[in-house]
Every structure is written in structure tokens, then in C-alpha cells.
A and B are shown apart, each in its own frame.
Chain A
Amino acid sequence: MAHSNWPEWIYVGVVIALMCWVGAEAWEAERLVEHVPEGAEIIKVTGQQWFWTFEHEDGTKEIGELHVEKGKAYKFEIHSKDVNHSFNIHDYVVLMDAIPGRVNTVWFAPDAVGEHDIQCREYCGLIHYNMRGTLIVEEPHS
């Protein structure tokens, strides 16, 4: 029996269009989020059992606390000294694995003064639950 199959073609077209849409949206969001702004200050983040160490561009080091300025962009270069960790600032949706032997990067720009939790998000041993730090966002110094 001869029959028309145009509804199937429309269905296939709609599915392909939706997949393109989903893919484009996700790709675009990823690109936006991963695009590090020029002039972002680099902060080296080291994870080790069971604390975080931060090194600013001027050589200042901090342990367990990170001081940043409101309205500036920061790029974290994250690595680990021992096992896998994951660097997380929950309030700013910053989440990146800290892996021994490689440097992962993520950036963010705090937009309000305040204190936020930093925590490890990859089970890394006995004291993982307490591998925490504090992000302190301050008014710009200059």
C-alpha cells in the first residue's frame, strides 16, 4: 500500500533540530564559562591531605584562607600534591578536580563582599570531610 511518510520526516527534522539546539546551548554556555578574561589574576591552588594552599601572583601564600577583591577576575591553577581532590567554592559554582601531575584551570569573578566556604569535593581520605577553607572577598584595595 502506498503511503505518505511526510510525518516521519517532520518528526526526524524536529528531533535533529532539538538536538542541534541542545548541543548549541550547552556548547555556548561551556564556551562562555571557560573563556578566561584578559588580565585575570592567577592564583595557584594546591590541594593536599587535608588542606588547601593558595599562592598569589605577587608570591603571597595563604593556607586555608583566600583573600580576593570584589570585581576582579581570578584564574585558579589547581593541582594536587598527593591524591585526587576537587576544589569547590559552592557559592560561586567553582568546581574543578585537583589531580597530581597536572594543572587544571577555572576562573571566577566575585561580585560582592563576603565570606564563602571552600571545600574538597572528591573523597580524599580520612579527614576529607574537614578539608575546608574560607574565601574572603574584600573591597578593592586601590
Chain B
Amino acid sequence: MKTLVGLFLVLAVLVIVPAVEYAFAAGAEPGEYLDRRVVIWNLFFRMMTIAFVVGAVVSGTIIWQVWRFRESHPKAKPTPYEGTDW
């Protein structure tokens, strides 16, 4: 449990705090207007990056599971309810 708390603390420091600080600094620069096109497209591309990474990880995990836990895998072990006669 302590490890988990530590993990989330590290995540908070690495991800959330800088994002919050950056957000609260919005508009502090005098005479410079942000370009909403840039902000919105940046968000879009970052979201696409996240979406494709998640998609790759999830589909990769499923493919690995199917490959690893097939009956013909050299290290396959029968589960108790399947019996042991193979």
C-alpha cells in the first residue's frame, strides 16, 4: 500500500503539478495572445498520441495473451478444471 501511495505521489509530481502550474499561468504574458487554433490542434494531436499508445498497448497485450496461452504453447499447463490427461 505504501508503495502505491508513493507511486501516485511520484505521478502527481511528474504529471499533475506541472500541468496545473502551466494552466494557472495562462494569459500572464502581456501583449501576446494565444492562438486558439494552435492550442486546440495541439490538444488534438496529443490526444491522438495517447489514444494510439493505449490502442497499441491493449491490442499488444491481447495478442500476447492469445499467443502465450494457446494450448499448443510449449509452456502451456492445463488448469485444474481441464484435467491433466494431455
Chain A residues in the interface with B (C-beta under 8 A): 9, 13, 16-18, 20-22, 24-29, 31-33, 35, 37, 73, 92-94, 108-109, 111
Contacts and interface: CB of A to CB of B under 8 A. Distances in A.
Interface residues of B, number: 25
Contacts of B35: 109, 111
B16 interface: yes
Contacts of B26: 31-32, 35
Contact of A28 (B8, B23, B37): B23
A21 B50 contact: yes
Contacts of B7: 13
A13 B39 contact: no
B76 interface: no
A13 B11 contact: yes
Nearest to B44: A29
Contacts of A28: 19, 22-23
